[in-house]
Amino acid sequence: MIQSIRERALNRELLTGTFINLGSPLTAEMAGAAGFDWLLVDIEHGSGDQEALGPQLQAIGGTPAAPVVRIANNDPPRFKRVLDLGASGIMVPYVSSVEEAEQAVASMRYPPRGIRGVAKLNRASGFGQDFDEYFNRSHELLTTVVQIETTDAVDRIDDIATIDGVDVLFIGPLDLSVNLGIPEQFDDPKFLEARDKVVKAAQNAGKAAGILLLNQAQVESTVEAGFTFIALGSDGGLVAAGMRNLAGAFDAYR
């Protein structure tokens, strides 16, 4: 069975994660052993594709972290391919309306609760051994994370938050700032107002508010603002920064 974090997310426990965008099982395993509650395997913008996803999920499966996968778009076939491989949840980009959020939830769930296709012989159900339990309980165990990245989403956030099965309202800060007309201006009053509106809607609906942070200096203010499903950085960002730091050791001698 999958490693579920849904109940903890809905209880608004502080759940910390990082993005895995290199497509590497090794960095996924390293991150899983580092102490994060969840990892976001990114097949929307990350280097890995569907073929690389299975080995990454297997690597994370040997660690305490729960794997959440960001798919490329809100397309029902993408959900079942990822879920059948054993993901603990899915992050859905660019959810801007109630209808889009409802479609995402339906794609996460088997009939009659949703539209997910049914198959027994997959990793999520222990290759059939745990199928009955997985079929009957997966709607309670899988975490649905919808990304709030547009002004339309912010305007409709109260309605999106109340949908049963939407568990985490997760701000994509770069996309949201661009769509607000203030690219990368994360301290701008417009961005802060949108951020706080998402947090309030999540709290009122009994859901979690999430966000991606780019540096450690943002952690304290983000927790104080009410976010509980927080990602910090990525494996790719960490490696790139580390390589620049190593190369910089020679700058004084050039």
* Longest Cα–Cα distance in the chain: 68
Please tell me which residue in 11, 26, 35, 45 is annotated as part of the active site: 45
Q: Which two tokens stand for residue 87?
A: 């993901």
Alpha-carbon distances, residue 187 vs 91, 182, 193 (angstroms): 25, 10, 10
Compute the CA torsion angle 45, 43, 227, 10 (nearest 10 deg). 160
CA–CA separation, 201 and 195 (whole Å): 10
Residue by residue, DSSP assigns 68-96 as EEE-SSS-HHHHHHHHHTT-SEEEES---
139 is annotated as an active-site residue: no
Which helix (H) or strand (E) element contains residue 243? helix 235-248
| Residue 68 and residue 145 in contact, taking contact as beta carbons nearer than 8 Å | yes
Q: Which two tokens stand for residue 48?
A: 């890995």
CA–CA separation, 208 and 76 (whole Å): 23
- Where in the sequence numbering do the catalytic residues fall? 45
